[in-house]
């Protein structure tokens, strides 16, 4: 895979005009006048791991295979030891089946769990935390000039968000370049699609940074760490547990990025402050994106 | 329960100063200067229905009992036929156990499901859709003057959102009065806490309206309809499926409420347009709340 694309070129960028992602809906405005809005689609996608039904995610529907792979990876249900032999998407049935050469250890665990306590709901979170304690994140440093450059580019990228609102975006970046920009209505689908793409394309994580429009919750921090990425940045705010986990695993956590401003609440040691923030232009109103929540 | 509180008086309002909801965290700003932020807490809460572990929700931690009751209600796991004999919260174990007089039909279903396909993950959504087809929503009308008055009051209510950001709010309203204002980091917890409060206090739904800071997704629309509430309003945008379900069940769906502006994409017939939008003040910048996502 190309890890050094031309400057400014996304490997995958949002394609707001792609058929099936938005729909024209008519209604009325405050004056009772007819209006037509472009609203994002949202459809169920049921993910199977071999013969096991794992979860039904609500998604805009692009990249179902990356979503399934990334979800299973980020939940620790698919490990490096598992050889994926096929990923089959059935549009009509709204299902993706991820097939592996051998039964995964997650399936074994489910079998056991089912026998002992009847069901495996609610274990998802415990499983995620399990993987995180043994993690060592790469020593990648991050220049503040790159952070500003990334925010500037990402905020100006045509997206479903700018087109129709009500959507989350996550962008995989390298240095000052945004590489893969995924969007979704489902809260964590955007980051899962990036994880699935990285897994599928065998993309190294140690020189990458993740940017998200959403808030920096424990789940976002855990997913980022499990992906082996050591820097997570956002326009939005933090939760206390998100900060705590970032500090524990040594992940660099940057939030509230707006124009010149940002706050770093964990992993400060990776930051190289190579630019005077006063020289960075404030966000102009036209390109100011709202918080993703 | 008091359905006619004094004007302007919430029955439950956010209490941003309540201990345990936020934490002071220190970090650095863009100049490398030490900063202290107030960030919201986020902790796991595992919900049990009798002896069944149902789900682990991430929550700010207020109203765990309402959250558990509301979650089970909104997932169709607890019906009107079930008599709740106790709701036990254990702060140390981070669990809530909802106990019913007899085994619920959901537990029976789980038992069966476990026997046939091994696990019940992923059925949650199907179960929610099941309940919705038989619904008939009340004919409650809604005055646009009330909508404007509600948005005005809610936007000025001191909240965790205004204090620390990164949070969703949902408000149960009656006429022009906001009654119960719940907030949470978890996407649907705020609305589930309201559902739990209504169930616990035996509050009628037919004269109520729900206001949310978040986007109008299928799940928000389904939850609102299952609660028996016929009007859902938001500052944020729509998804196509959210609109479609609202149209199917005859729910009034109002989005993008900002100052004078709003859009109604379903259930227009309930709207009484009793005020000229031009006379409504625009949102002033100070009180303008960002979209919840």
Residue B106 has pLDDT above 70, yes or no: yes
Say if the Cβ atoms of A122 and B164 lie within 8 Å.
no
Q: What is the pLDDT of residue B112?
A: 59
Q: What residues in A contact B264, CB-CB < 8 Å?
A: 27-29
Binning pLDDT at 50, 70 and 90, where does residue A186 land? confident
Q: What is the pLDDT of residue A285?
A: 63
Average pLDDT on A46-70 reads: 92
Nearest residue of chain A to residue B239 (CA atoms): A40
Give the HSE-up count for residue A177: Cα atoms under 13 Å, Cβ half-sphere.
15
**A245 in contact with B at a CB cutoff of 8 Å?**
no
State the DSSP string of chain A: --SSPPTT--SB---TTSTTSEEEEEEEETTS-EEEEEEE--EEEEEEETTEEEEEEEE--S-HHHHHHHHHHHTTSS-TT--EEEEEEETTTTEEEEEESS--HHHHHHHHHHHHHS--TT-HHHHHHHHHTT-------EEHHHHHHHHHHHHHS--HHHHH-S-EEEEEEETTEEEEEEEESSTTHHHHHHHHHHHHHT---TTEEEEESS-B-HHHHHHHHHTT--EEEESS-BBHHHHHHHHHHT-EEEEEEETTEEEEEE-GGGEE--S-GGGSPPPPGGGPPPP--
Say if the Cβ atoms of A120 and B124 lie within 8 Å.
no
- From the list A56, A126, A261, the residue facing B30 with the nearest CB is A261
Q: What is the pLDDT of residue A118?
A: 40
For residue A246, how many other CB atoms are within 10 A of its CB?
27
Average pLDDT on B159-173 reads: 86
Of B282, B262, B283, nearest in space to B271 by CA? B262
Of B14, B6, B290, nearest in space to B174 by CA? B6
Binning pLDDT at 50, 70 and 90, where does residue A19 land? confident
B-proximal residues of A, 60-89, CB under 8 Å: none
A-proximal residues of B, 95-114, CB under 8 Å: 110-111, 114
Nearest residue of chain B to residue A237 (CA atoms): B166
Q: What is the pLDDT of residue B123?
A: 41
Average pLDDT on A124-143 reads: 77
Please indicate whether residue A292 or residue B162 has the higher confidence score (pLDDT): B162
Per the listing, tokens 């993690």 go with A135
Lowest mean pLDDT among A39-48, A201-210, B3-12: B3-12
Q: What is the pLDDT of residue A275?
A: 94
Q: Across-strand partners of A56?
A: A46
Secondary structure in 3-state letters for A212-255: ECCCECHHHHHHHHHCCCCEEEECCCEEHHHHHHHHHHCCEEEE
Say if the Cβ atoms of A216 and B166 lie within 8 Å.
yes
Q: What is the pLDDT of residue B54?
A: 86
Q: What residues in A contact B261, CB-CB < 8 Å?
A: 29-30
Domains of chain B: 43-131 (3.10.20.10), 142-287 (3.40.140.10)
Residue A284 has pLDDT above 80, yes or no: no
Average pLDDT on B220-234 reads: 95
Cα–Cα distances in angstroms (integers) from residue A42 to residues A106, A283, B6, B116, in the given order: 28, 31, 41, 30
Say if the Cβ atoms of A121 and B291 lie within 8 Å.
no
Q: What is the pLDDT of residue A134?
A: 80
Binning pLDDT at 50, 70 and 90, where does residue A149 land? very high
pLDDT in tens, B183-202: 998 768 999 999 999 999 99
A-proximal residues of B, 183-202, CB under 8 Å: 185, 187
Lowest mean pLDDT among A34-43, A169-178, B62-71: A34-43
Lowest mean pLDDT among A28-42, B205-219, B279-293: B279-293
**A275 in contact with B at a CB cutoff of 8 Å?**
no
Cα–Cα distances in angstroms (integers) from residue A55 to residues A47, A67, A96, in the given order: 6, 12, 10
Q: What is the pLDDT of residue A56?
A: 84
Does ipTM exceed 0.90? Answer: no
Alpha carbons B248 and A212: distance in angstroms, whole number: 34
Q: What is the pLDDT of residue B58?
A: 87
A-proximal residues of B, 2-21, CB under 8 Å: none
**B30 in contact with A at a CB cutoff of 8 Å?**
yes
Average pLDDT on B226-232 reads: 96
Please indicate whether residue B290 or residue A56 has the higher confidence score (pLDDT): A56
CB B166 within 8 A of CB A187: no
**B120 in contact with A at a CB cutoff of 8 Å?**
yes
CA distance B57 to chain A (A): 9
Average pLDDT on A91-115 reads: 81
Please indicate whether residue B164 or residue A198 has the higher confidence score (pLDDT): A198
Q: What is the pLDDT of residue A148?
A: 96
CA distance A28 to chain B (A): 5
- Stretch (H or E) spanning B24: strand B22-29
Q: What residues in A contact B31, CB-CB < 8 Å?
A: 277
Of B62, B61, B56, B103, nearest in space to B79 by CA? B103
Q: What is the pLDDT of residue B134?
A: 81
Lowest mean pLDDT among A92-106, A136-150, A156-170, A224-238: A156-170
Residue of A51, A111, A116, A239 to mutate for B, most B C-beta atoms under 10 A:
A239
Percent of chain A with pLDDT over 90: 64
Say if the Cβ atoms of A22 and B240 lie within 8 Å.
yes
Residue B120 has pLDDT above 90, yes or no: no
Nearest residue of chain A to residue B188 (CA atoms): A187
Of A233, A272, A267, A264, nearest in space to B37 by CA? A264
Average pLDDT on A9-27 reads: 91
Average pLDDT on A16-29 reads: 91
Angle at CA of residue A138, ends A134 and A144, nearest 5°: 135
> In b/e form, how buried is each residue of B87-96, taking b as 16+ CB within 10 angstroms?
beeeeeeebb
Q: What is the pLDDT of residue B288?
A: 55
Binning pLDDT at 50, 70 and 90, where does residue B105 land? confident
Q: What is the pLDDT of residue B2?
A: 41
**Separation of first and last alpha carbons in chain B:** 33
Residue B225 has pLDDT above 60, yes or no: yes
Of A72, A66, A224, A235, nearest in space to B166 by CA? A235
Residue B57 has pLDDT above 90, yes or no: no
Alpha carbons B128 and A51: distance in angstroms, whole number: 24
Q: What is the pLDDT of residue B9?
A: 85
Average pLDDT, chain A: 87
Say if the Cβ atoms of B118 and A124 lie within 8 Å.
no
Binning pLDDT at 50, 70 and 90, where does residue A225 land? very high
Query: Strands A168-174 and A177-184, how do they pair?
Result: antiparallel
A-proximal residues of B, 199-228, CB under 8 Å: 214-219
Map residue B150 onto helix, strand or coil: helix
Residue A119 has pLDDT above 70, yes or no: no
Say if the Cβ atoms of A119 and B121 lie within 8 Å.
yes
Q: What is the pLDDT of residue A4?
A: 44
Q: What residues in A contact B22, CB-CB < 8 Å?
A: 240
Alpha carbons B258 and B242: distance in angstroms, whole number: 20
Tell if the pTM clears 0.80, that is, is over it: yes
Say if the Cβ atoms of A121 and B121 lie within 8 Å.
yes
Percent of chain B with pLDDT over 70: 86
CA distance A187 to chain B (A): 8
Q: What residues in B contact A185, CB-CB < 8 Å?
A: 215, 217, 239
Residue A222 has pLDDT above 80, yes or no: yes
Alpha carbons A32 and B158: distance in angstroms, whole number: 32
Q: What is the pLDDT of residue B59?
A: 92
Q: What is the pLDDT of residue A79?
A: 87
Please indicate whether residue A70 or residue A132 has the higher confidence score (pLDDT): A70
Say if the Cβ atoms of A238 and B37 lie within 8 Å.
yes
Per the listing, tokens 């949002």 go with A14
């Amino acid at each position: 895979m190309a890890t050094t694309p031309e400057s400014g070129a996304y490997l995958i960028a949002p394609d707001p005009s792609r058929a099936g992602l938005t729909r024209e809906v008519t209604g009325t405005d405050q004056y009772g006048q007819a209006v037509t809005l472009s609203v994002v689609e949202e459809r169920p996608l049921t993910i199977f791991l071999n013969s096991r039904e794992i979860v039904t995610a609500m998604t805009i529907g692009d990249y179902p295979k990356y979503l399934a792979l990334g979800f299973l990876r980020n939940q620790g249900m698919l490990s490096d030891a598992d050889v994926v032999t096929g990923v089959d998407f059935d549009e009509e049935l709204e299902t993706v089946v991820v097939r592996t050469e051998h039964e995964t250890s997650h399936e074994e665990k489910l079998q056991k769990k089912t026998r002992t306590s009847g069901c495996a709901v609610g274990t998802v979170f415990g499983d995620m935390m399990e993987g995180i304690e043994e993690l060592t994140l790469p020593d990648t440093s991050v220049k503040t000039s790159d952070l500003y450059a990334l925010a500037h580019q990402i905020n100006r990228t045509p997206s479903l968000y700018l087109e129709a609102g009500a959507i989350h975006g996550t962008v995989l970046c390298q240095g000052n370049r945004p590489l893969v920009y995924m969007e979704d209505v489902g809260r964590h689908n955007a980051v899962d699609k990036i994880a699935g793409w990285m897994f599928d394309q065998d993309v190294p994580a140690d020189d990458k940074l993740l940017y998200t429009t959403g808030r920096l919750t424990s789940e976002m921090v855990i997913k980022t760490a499990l992906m082996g990425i050591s820097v997570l940045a956002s326009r939005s705010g933090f939760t206390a547990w998100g900060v705590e986990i970032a500090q524990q695993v040594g992940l660099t956590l940057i939030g509230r990025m707006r124009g010149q401003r940002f706050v770093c609440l964990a992993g400060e040691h990776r930051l190289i402050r190579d630019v005077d923030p006063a020289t960075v232009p404030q966000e102009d109103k036209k390109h100011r994106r709202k918080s993703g929540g």
